Structure 1
Amino acid sequence: MTRGADIIAVIILIALAIAVIVYLLHWLYRRSSKEVSFVRTGMFGEKVIISGGAFVLPIIHNITQVGMRTLSLTIKRAGDKSLITKDRMRAELVTEFFTKVPPDKKAVSTAAQTLGNRTLDPEHLREVVQGRFADALGEVAANMTLDEIQENRGQFVKEVTKIADESIGHTGLALETVSLISLDQTPIEQFNPANTFDSQGLTQLTEQIEARKKKRNDITQDTKISIENKNLETIQKELEIKKNEEFSRYKQEREIAIQKANERTETIKQRSEREREAEEAEIRSQEEIEVAKISQ
C-alpha cells in the first residue's frame, strides 16, 4: 500500500509540475500578431519580434509593443491655414496620408525607441506626424504656382511624398501613399491686405479678375458687333436680291413689250405689203384691160 501511494503521489507531483510549467510557458511566452509586433530588451540584449514569439521574463525583460496597422491621416488646409504658393496665391486643399511601421526589424526597433506605445494609439501618432506632413505640403506649395499644382498634381504628390517620408524616417515610420483629394483657390475674402504675401497675391488676383472681366466684356461687345454686322449683311443681301428681282421683272416686261411691238410692226408691215401687192395686181389688171381695148 505504501509503495502504491508513493507512486500516486509522484504522478500527482509530476502532473502539478507539468501544469505549472505549461502555465509559466503560457504566461512568459509572448507572441506577436499581424497588427502588433514588439521589441524585447534587457537580458540577452534587444530582440525584435515581428512574426513569432519570445520568452519575456519579469524584472529582467521589458517589452515595447509596436502597432503595424496603416494609419490614415487627413490634412485639410483652408482659410487662414491655407497654403501660400509660389505666385503668392492661397491654396485650399485636402490630402490623405497613409503611413505605417514597415515589417522590418530595424524599422520596428526604431519605432519602439522613438514612438514607444504611441504607435498603438492613432490619435497620439497623428500628433507626431501631422505637423511634419503639413510642413511638407507647405514646402512643396511654396515652389509651385497654383496653376502648376493643378496641372501637375502627380508631381506635387510625388514631391510631398518624398519630403514627408524623409521627415518621419527617423521615427521608424514609412509613408505608403499620399492622395490629393481636392484643390481650390482660397476665397479672396480670406486674403489679409496687411500680410506681405497676401497683399502681393491680392494684387495679382485683383488684376486677374479685372482682366477677365475686361476680356469677357470685349468678347460680349465683339459678339454683339458681329451679330449686328451679320444682320446688316443679311439685310443688304435681301435688298440686293429684291433689287435684282425687280430689275429682272422690269427687263422681262420690257423685253415682252418690245417683242409685242416688233410683232405688231411686222404684222402691219406684212399687211401693208399685201395691200400694195393687191393694188399693183389691180393696176396691172386695169392696164391689161386697157391694152386689150386699144388693140381691138
Structure 2
Amino acid sequence: MGYVEIALYGIGGLVALAIVSFFILSAFYRKPGPEEAIVRTGVGGLKVQTGKGMIIVPVAHSADKMDLSVKRIEIAREGEDGLICQDNIRADIRVAFYVRVNNQQSDIMQVAEMLNPKRASEINQLRELFEAKFSEALKTVGKQFDFVSLYTDRDNFREQILNVIGTDLNGYRLDNCHIDYLEQTPVESLNPQNILDAEGIKKITELTTQENMKRNSFEVEESKVIKQQNVDRDQALYELERQRVDAEEKQKREIAEITARNQAAAAQVQEEERQRAESARIVAEEQIQVAEQNKDRQIIVALRNKERTDQVEIERVEKDRMLEVTERERVVGLADIEKDKAIEIEKRNIQEVIRERVMVERGVVEEQENIKNTQEIMTADRAKTVAVTMAEKDAQESLVIQVKAAEAEKQSAEFGAQQVVIEADAQRDAAEREMQATKMLAEAKTADKAAEGLAEAQVTMAKADALEKEGTAEASVIQRKGEAEAVVIDQTGSAEATIVQKKAVAEAKGDEAMAVATEKVGTAEASVMGLKFNAEATGIKEKAESMKLFHAAGKEHEEFKLQLNKDKDIEIAAIDAQQNIAEAQAEIVGEALKNSTIDIVGGETTFFDKIVDSIKAGKSVDRFVGNSDVLTDVKNTFFNGDNEYFAAQLRQFTGQFGVSFEDVKDLSVAALVGRLITMADNEDDKSRLEDLLRVFRGAGVASQKVATLGLTDGKQAK
C-alpha cells in the first residue's frame, strides 16, 4: 500500500510539473503573424523566426516584431523637377514602388542590424532609405526614352527601372513598380535659361506647329468638301421643293372645291350649333355671375366678421395693457411708499440715536456737576468746622452778650431767611426751566440738522452753511454784544447777591455758633443752677436746631443758583474770549495779508491754523536763509531781489526741459526738482537745482505739492 501511494504522489507531481511547465512555456512562447517576423536579441545572440514561435525569457531576451508586408512608396517628379527624356522634353511623372522586407532569415537579420525592427517597415523610414535611389533610377532610365515612347513602351520603361534598381536592397526586396501618372510638363514651368529645357521648348514648339499646320489643312479641305456637298444638297432640295409645291397647289385646288361644297352644308349646321352654344354660354355666364356675387357677398361677410373679431381682440389687448399699466403704476406707487416709509423710519432711527446720545451727554454733564457740588459741599463743611471752632472760642469770651444778641435778632433772621428761601426757590425753578428749554432747543436743532444732512446733498448743505454764516454774521455780533452787556449786568447783580448771601451765611454761622454756645452755657448753668434753667436751655437748643436746618436749606438753594450763574458766566466768557480771539486774528491776518491773493481751503476751524502755519513756514525759511551764507547766495541767484524772479527761474528750467506746470502740479516740490536735476545736461544747472532743493528741504516745503506754491501758467500768486 505504501508503494502505491508513493507512485500516485510521483505521478501527481509529474502531472503538476507538466502543467506548470506548460503554463510557463505558454507565457514565454511568442508566435508571429502571417506577415510578421520575431527578432530576438540577448542570450544566444540575434535570432529571427517567421511562421514558427520561439521562447522569449523576459530577463534574458528582448524581442520585437518586424512587419514583412508590402509597402508603397510614391516618387514624384513634376514641374521644374520633372523627368528629362531622351529628346530633352520634361515629363511630370509619379511612380509607385512596392517594397518589403525579404522573407529570408538572413535578410531579416540584415535589416534588424541596420534598423529598429519596429520601424523597419514605416513609410517615412523607407522613403528616407530609398527615395534618393529610386529618384536616381528614374532619371537614369528616363533619359533612355523619348517622351512619346514613355507612353507607348511603358512596360519596357518599368522593366528598365527594375533592372537599374535591382530587387535586392540590403535585406529589402523591390517587388514591382507602376507608373501612376505621366504627362508633359507645362511650358510655363520650363526654364528657358536651361539648355535642356530650351531644347525641349524648341522641340515642343516644332511639333505643335507642324501638328497645327496639318490640322489646319485638314480643316480647310474639310470645309471645301462640306461646301460642295452643301451645294449639291441644296440643288436637290430645291427641285424636290418645286415638285412638292406643284403637288400641294394641285391638292389645294381639289381641297378647296370639296371644302366649298362642304362649307355650305356645314355653315347651316354651325349656325345651329352656334345658337345652341350661345344659349348655353349665356346660361353659364348667368350662373357664374350669380356664383361670383355669392362669393363676394360671403367675402364681405367674412371680412366684417374678421373686423369685428379684430376689434374685439384689439379692445381686449388694450384692456389688458391698461390693466398692466395700472398694476405697474400701483406697484411703483407701493414701492415709492415703501421707500418713503423706509426713509422716514431711518430718519426716526437717526433722531432716536441722536436723542440717546444727547441724553448720555446730559447724564455725563449732570454727573460732573454732582461731583463739583460734592467737592463744594465738602469744602463748605471744612470751612464750617473751622468757623464753629473759632466761634466756640469767641463764644467763651462773650457768652452772655451773644446770647442776648441772638435772642434779639432771632425774629429778624427768621423773617429774612424765609424771604431768601422763597426767592431762592423761585430762581432755582426759573433756572431749571431755562436749562431744560435750552437743552430741548439744542436737541431739536441737532436732530433737525442731522435729518437735513441725510436728506440733502453735501454740496447743497455746504452752500446753505455758507449763506447762513454770511447772513448771520452781523446778527451774531450784535447778539454777542447784547449777551456781553447782559453778562455785565448779571455779574453785577450776582456780585450783590453774593455779598448778601455771604452776609446771610455769616449770620447763619453766627447763629449756629450762638446756638452751640447757648447749649453749652445752658448745660453748664444747668449743672450749677439745676432745673431752673434746664427748660430755657432746652428751648434755646431746639430753636438753634430749627435755625440750623432753615439756614441749611437756604444755603443749598443759594449754592445751586450760584453754580448755575457761574456755569453760565463761564460759557459766555468762553464765547466772548473766542470771539475776541477770532476778531483779533481776523484783524491781524487781514492787515498782514490785505494785499495777497489767497485760495481759502478748509473750514472755520482749520483756516486760521493753515494761514498761521504758512506764515510760520515762511518766517522759518527767511530766518534759515538769512543765517546761511550759502543759501543767501542761492537766494540772490534765484530770487535776485525780485518777486517775479523766482517764477522766471522756474519757468526758465521748466521751459528749458519742456515741462509745464499743468503736467507736474500733482507732484511734490522735491519730485519736481529731482526730475529737473535728472533732465539737466550740464553741471551748472544741476548745482543750481541741488541748491534749490536744499532750500526747499530746509524750509519744510519739499513734501508739498507744486500746486500749493500758487504757480500756474507762469504767474506767481503774491
**Under TM normalisation by the shorter chain, which class is it?**
0.5 to 0.7
Residue matched to 1:171: 170
The Cα of 1:23 is off from its aligned counterpart by 5.3
SS at match of 1:200: helix
The Cα of 1:11 is off from its aligned counterpart by 12
**8 Å CA contact retained: 1:28, 1:55:** yes
Letter in 2 for 1:32: P
Matches within 5 A, 1:58-207: 58=58, 60-117=60-117, 118-166=119-167, 169-207=168-206
Distance 1:126 1:26, change over 3 A: farther
1:79 and 1:155 mapped to 2: Cα distance?
24
Residue matched to 2:28: 28
1:182 and 1:233 mapped to 2: Cα distance?
49
SS at match of 1:108: helix
Q: Alpha carbon RMSD of aligned pairs, Å?
A: 3.5
**8 Å CA contact retained: 2:38, 2:64:** yes
The Cα of 1:12 is off from its aligned counterpart by 12
2:76 and 2:13 mapped to 1: Cα distance?
66
1:230 and 1:121 mapped to 2: Cα distance?
68
Distance 1:228 1:18, change over 3 A: closer
1:176 and 1:12 mapped to 2: Cα distance?
56
The Cα of 1:19 is off from its aligned counterpart by 7.5
With normalisation by structure 2, the TM-score equals: 0.28
Structure (1/2) with the larger helix percentage: 2
Distance 1:84 1:51, change over 3 A: same
**8 Å CA contact retained: 2:100, 2:121:** no
Distance 1:84 1:185, change over 3 A: same
Letter in 2 for 1:164: I
Residue matched to 1:270: none
1:39 and 1:48 mapped to 2: Cα distance?
5
Q: Percent identity?
A: 26
The Cα of 1:165 is off from its aligned counterpart by 3.4
2:41 and 2:29 mapped to 1: Cα distance?
14
Distance 1:59 1:196, change over 3 A: farther
The Cα of 1:18 is off from its aligned counterpart by 7.0
Residue matched to 2:401: none
Which residues of structure 1 form unaligned runs of 5+? 1-9, 235-296
Matches within 5 A, 1:184-263: 184-224=183-223
Moved more, 223-232 or 185-194: 223-232
1:82 and 1:19 mapped to 2: Cα distance?
66
Distance 1:233 1:40, change over 3 A: same
**8 Å CA contact retained: 2:86, 2:142:** yes
**8 Å CA contact retained: 1:80, 1:190:** yes
2:221 and 2:90 mapped to 1: Cα distance?
34
SS at match of 2:54: strand
Letter in 1 for 2:38: F
Tell me the alpha carbon deviations over residues 187-206 of structure 1, each in whole angstroms, 9 at most, x when there is no partner: 11111112221111111111
2:77 and 2:190 mapped to 1: Cα distance?
14
**8 Å CA contact retained: 2:28, 2:57:** yes
Distance 1:27 1:230, change over 3 A: closer
2:120 and 2:102 mapped to 1: Cα distance?
12
Which residues of structure 2 form unaligned runs of 5+? 1-9, 234-718
1:170 and 1:177 mapped to 2: Cα distance?
13
The Cα of 1:151 is off from its aligned counterpart by 0.8
2:216 and 2:183 mapped to 1: Cα distance?
25
2:20 and 2:121 mapped to 1: Cα distance?
32
Letter in 2 for 1:121: E
SS at match of 1:174: strand
Distance 1:72 1:170, change over 3 A: closer
Q: Which has the higher contact order (CA 8 A, sep 6+)?
A: 1
Residue matched to 1:44: 44
Tell me the alpha carbon deviations over residues 54-100 of structure 1, each in whole angstroms, 9 at most, x when there is no partner: 22334543435321111122333322232111111111123222221
Letter in 1 for 2:44: F
Count of aligned residue pairs for this structure pair: 227
1:193 and 1:220 mapped to 2: Cα distance?
33
1:194 and 1:184 mapped to 2: Cα distance?
22
The Cα of 1:180 is off from its aligned counterpart by 1.7
**8 Å CA contact retained: 1:65, 1:116:** no
Letter in 2 for 1:186: T
SS at match of 2:72: strand
SS at match of 2:164: helix
Larger-gyration structure (1/2)? 2
2:215 and 2:14 mapped to 1: Cα distance?
96
1:231 and 1:11 mapped to 2: Cα distance?
110
1:115 and 1:152 mapped to 2: Cα distance?
38
1:125 and 1:15 mapped to 2: Cα distance?
51
SS at match of 1:44: coil
**8 Å CA contact retained: 1:66, 1:111:** no
SS at match of 2:120: helix
The Cα of 1:20 is off from its aligned counterpart by 6.5
Letter in 2 for 1:211: Q
